[in-house]
Amino acid sequence: MAFQIRIRGQVQGVGFRPFIWQLAQRFGIEGDVRNDAEGVLIRCVCVDDGFLNAIRAETPQLARIDAVEVSEIDAALGKGFTIAQSGAKGAETRVTPDAATCPDCVTEIRSAGRRHGYAFTNCTHCGPRFTILKQLPYDRAQTSMATFDMCDDCAAEYGNPADRRFHAQPIACPACGPHVLIEPAAVDPIADAARRLLDGQIIAIKGLGGFHLCCDATNPDAIAELRRRKHRPTKPLALMGPIDVIETYARISDSARELISDPAAPIVLLNKAAPLPDGLAPGQTQLGWMLPYTPLHHLILDAIQRPLVMTSGNLSGEPQVIGNDEAREKLGQFADAFVMHNRDIQRRLDDSVERADPPMVLRRARGRVPGTFPLPPGFEQSKPIIAYGGQMKSAICLTKNGQALLGHHMGDLDDLLCGIEFEKAVADYSALFDHSPAFAAVDAHAGYRSTQFAQTQSVEQIEVWHHHAHMAACMGENLWPLDGGKVVGLIMDGTGLGPDGTLWGGEILLGDYRGFDHMGGLSPAPLAGGDMAAREPWRNAMVRLDQAGLSDWADNLFPNAPRDILRHAVAKGLNAPMSSSAGRLFDAVAAVLGICPMGQSFEGEAAMRLEALIDPAEKHGYAFRVSNRQIDPAPIWQQINDDLRADTSREKIAARFHLGLAKVFAAQARDLVQSGQAQAIALSGGCFQNAALLQMVCNALDDLPVLIHRRIPANDGGLAFGQAMIAAAKTI
């Protein structure tokens, strides 16, 4: 008799087999270890408790163990301990996300040796994973590295279990691996790229999941030129720099330092410290920073010795560019030069965007995907589900074997190419993870492209209401049990279709995974001009002021706007659907304060600028009118008008609006919990990515159980996860 130890989780491509080999030498274990469709399989002559304990306690940095299962087997095992060939293909295990260059590899590219200055240095602790993977199991032949034959030196490292590069699938060196090139051609691509950046030029640089457009972040003229070429007037630009540079320009807490140093290397929002050009993020108090996460980034930053803008290389609204020819075609109008390489990118992954204080994921992408989430208690017998998400911030979700895989951010499906990428991603994830869904979860809005695509698939569909999905996403992330009782959902976002046929966006729900009742929320107002209301904040201000009997004030605020035409359309009900959107209420307040009233250049700009204004010392909130949990903002407008006439600062007005909104919603939720109708409160929807609003609502509910998002986006990027939870609950 012998024993089999099955390790499930994120255990391939992380150095797990050499880790087991080293433990076996230490504990005198005889047998073998291999990768297979379900994870890592160890066969051994005997099982030592110290060996099992060490597997969990000393796990490699990038590994995540879900289960360690021990059973007896009938097998004849040889002497010693070996690493065997991978088993059958399949996808019952987790795939490791891409990981930032580890300290050992950074030291190596800066030191004498055969990898000095080599832009593709990696080991089992770092480097590309998901972006080069074609199919499972994770072996070199299944990746973009298959075309690069290892030299003798790399092969020796690859085959040595004591080496940190043992079975590191992307292993390479200048003699056998990918190489960097620059166009126009130069002898030293890194030095030439640095020279161009210091001269104020814009460079397209190929990273892990796609191209970035890059310029000197200290050069206001270069920043302005990048914005002009890309037609991106105000949307914040992401920055990259080493930690000492980031500390110079940003205030970084201990939690933010830990997050930005994570192997996922996300963009982290940090408060400004030393000044950088205002053009990086007009009207904002924070900048998005990330550390260099490839050797190429490290080498360029070493050469330039200053922070760099690193914004997605794409045409406005389109997916990020990943191929060299594609970059030449699409980014030629933006870039003065291209820093490229000859290793193919298998899938487009934008940079993840996160916040440390409070912790939240705003965009889930490179470094986080395809990590999985456990399903809550009660979902153990749930059938495989595919959930297609919404129209905006598209992402899909697959459930299988008690885990949920929330896919990467793919943009807005209004764009044709994003829609094509969405369809490719469905096929890609389904094939890669060997997923055969029993049911498909879709948004109830028939006009969403994701819903329409689902209708072309031969899987039974379950319609899910938009805001119920937001609530379920928050519940599921917090492992709220299937039969854990009812929860109050405070859901604030832009818009989503409600069962009454109107566009919701500021709702109070009471329910669980299986269903909900609508208990109240913001009183509705017409979206004057339909989708234009989301782009021109003055429209929302005008209709709300008209409702409050303050039309004269609207006339004074927006004298050059086509008010009469719009009011006529609203009165006739022409392209003016009713909506209780909290997002549009934020736009209205911003417009009244003169914040981009006639147009915002990106979604959420007005609300973000309004949040940035907040005076943290202000304790007074505006009073809303409440009747049967219907929250009417009409009274706040006169209060704002009075404050403006009294020369109250915009900072205090912004704070008072946020505080008033937080307190009135929190009061309704508190009543439902204290009356015994609910056991907890879930906060979800894109407005809860506003850190100030989130904190204010949590402060108002500080003695009650509150569920918030931390690892799944509160915005529509988390919608598919909530849809999957609801579909699973209804079909168990």
* β-pair partners for 240: 290, 308
Q: Which of 6, 26, 34, 35 is catalytic?
A: 35
* β-pair partners for 184: none
Residue from 65, 20, 132, 136 nearest 434 by CA: 136
Per-residue tokens: 526: 């017409």
Contact predicate 23/40, CB 8 Å: no
Distance CA 174, CA 444 (A): 53
Angle between helices 605-613 and 650-674 (to 10 degrees): 100
Contact predicate 723/389, CB 8 Å: yes
Q: Which single residue is written with the structure tokens 């990515």?
A: 689
Residue from 210, 423, 396, 239 nearest 314 by CA: 210
| Residue 17 annotated in active site | yes
Enumerate the H helices of 4-149 as residue ranges. Answer: 16-27, 49-57, 103-109
659: left (phi over 0), alpha (psi -120 to 50) or beta: alpha
Q: 721, exposed or middle or buried, with CB in 10 Å at 0-12, 13-18, 19+?
A: buried
Residue 555 CB: number of other CB atoms within 10 A?
14
* β-pair partners for 353: 267, 363
Distance CA 205, CA 226 (A): 14
3-state secondary structure 534-582: HHCHHHHHHHHHHHCCCHHHHHHHCCCCCHHHHHHHHHHCCCCCEECCH
Distance CA 459, CA 387 (A): 11
Residue from 127, 171, 143, 58 nearest 367 by CA: 127
Q: Which of 17, 165, 366, 449 is catalytic?
A: 17
Cα–Cα distance list, 426 to 38, 429, 576, 712 (Å) = 22, 6, 34, 19
Residue from 417, 366, 423, 367 nearest 396 by CA: 423
Long-range pairs for 420-426: beta carbons < 8 A, 24 or more residues apart: 421/319, 421/348, 422/394, 422/396, 422/449, 422/450, 422/453, 423/453, 425/347, 425/396, 426/386, 426/388, 426/396, 426/453
Cα–Cα distance list, 367 to 172, 353, 716 (Å) = 21, 10, 19
Contact predicate 423/323, CB 8 Å: no
Distance CA 349, CA 627 (A): 46
Our CA angle for 19, 20, 26, nearest 5°, is: 95
Contact predicate 493/507, CB 8 Å: no
Per-residue tokens: 298: 């490290």
Distance CA 473, CA 684 (A): 8
| Residue 628 annotated in active site | no
Distance CA 202, CA 563 (A): 42
Contact predicate 359/253, CB 8 Å: no
What is the amino acid identity at position 271? Answer: N
Angle between helices 582-592 and 537-547 (to 10 degrees): 90
Q: Strands 461-464 and 439-443, how do they pair?
A: parallel
Provide the CA 234 distance to its chain's centre, in angstroms. 21
* β-pair partners for 42: 5, 33
Contact predicate 99/209, CB 8 Å: no
- Catalytic residue set: 17, 35
